[in-house]
Chain A
Amino acid sequence: KAGVTQTPRYLIKTRGQQVTLSCSPISGHRSVSWYQQTPGQGLQFLFEYFSETQRNKGNFPGRFSGRQFSNSRSEMNVSTLELGDSALYLCASSSGQIKETQYFGPGTRLLVL
């Protein structure tokens, strides 16, 4: 079974721009979560989508948004990029059932200049 895939793997943007990252979950998984990883803050939960609905949300500003499509693929958008948004963005999928674990993708490394 193919794992979680994320595109693009690397991205360079400038301040003020916006960016869209994509995540394809493991086949059959209906839950997709997004995390941000920085050296200072570590791994932090952004939000989770299940069956096209945002089910859980972390403590991030409204510049960070996401959506999920009917095929469970998910996109994350960051508007008005700031230097501090430079990070590894990780996507994880799960079946969405209680106690089922998450499987992470390789991440998208975003550099904001």
Chain B
Amino acid sequence: DAKTTQPPSMDCAEGRAANLPCNHSTISGNEYVYWYRQIHSQGPQYIIHGLKNNETNEMASLIITEDRKSSTLILPHATLRDTAVYYCIVSPTGGSQGNLIFGKGTKLSVKP
């Protein structure tokens, strides 16, 4: 079973920031938080990952709470193309050995 809990769906207005929460209260000390997204009928796409510090890349920012029990993925200026299912995954290996455990994710709908 997935070790994360995410809201099933969220809406966001185009141009606004999308903040996607994830709870991972049983995360172990060696587990990273990974975010992937899947646009309809395509393969999942890696977004970002982190251990305990906040991370930022060209796609998004990842905020991890100090106790590491939850995190938030931030898309700073959402566009219609960001409409997708977003998966939060905790893993010690990042999927480098396969075996990523996907939950049901959050379906983000960006509306004009």
Chain A residues near B (Cβ < 8 Å): 4, 31, 33-35, 42-45, 47-48, 50, 55-56, 58, 88, 90, 92, 94-107, 109
Contacts and interface: CB of A to CB of B under 8 A. Distances in A.
A99 B97 contact: no
Contact of A45 (B41, B42, B101, B104): B101
B44 to A, nearest CB: 5
A104 B44 contact: yes
Contacts of B103: 42
Given A42-B102, A101-B34, A4 B97 contact: no
Interface stretch (B16-24, B59-67, B88-96): B88-96
Contact of A101 (B41, B96, B102): B96
B104 A42 contact: yes
List the 9 shortest-distance A-B pairs measured between CB atoms, nearest first: A48-B98, A104-B43, A33-B98, A43-B102, A102-B95, A100-B96, A99-B94, A101-B46, A94-B96
20 contacts: A4-B43, A31-B97, A31-B98, A43-B87, A48-B99, A55-B97, A56-B97, A56-B99, A90-B43, A92-B44, A94-B96, A96-B97, A98-B97, A101-B34, A102-B95, A102-B100, A104-B45, A105-B43, A106-B43, A107-B42
Contacts of B92: 98
Interface string B24-61: 00000000101000000111111001000000000000
B87 to A, nearest CB: 8
B41 A88 contact: yes
Interface string B74-98: 0000000000000100001111111
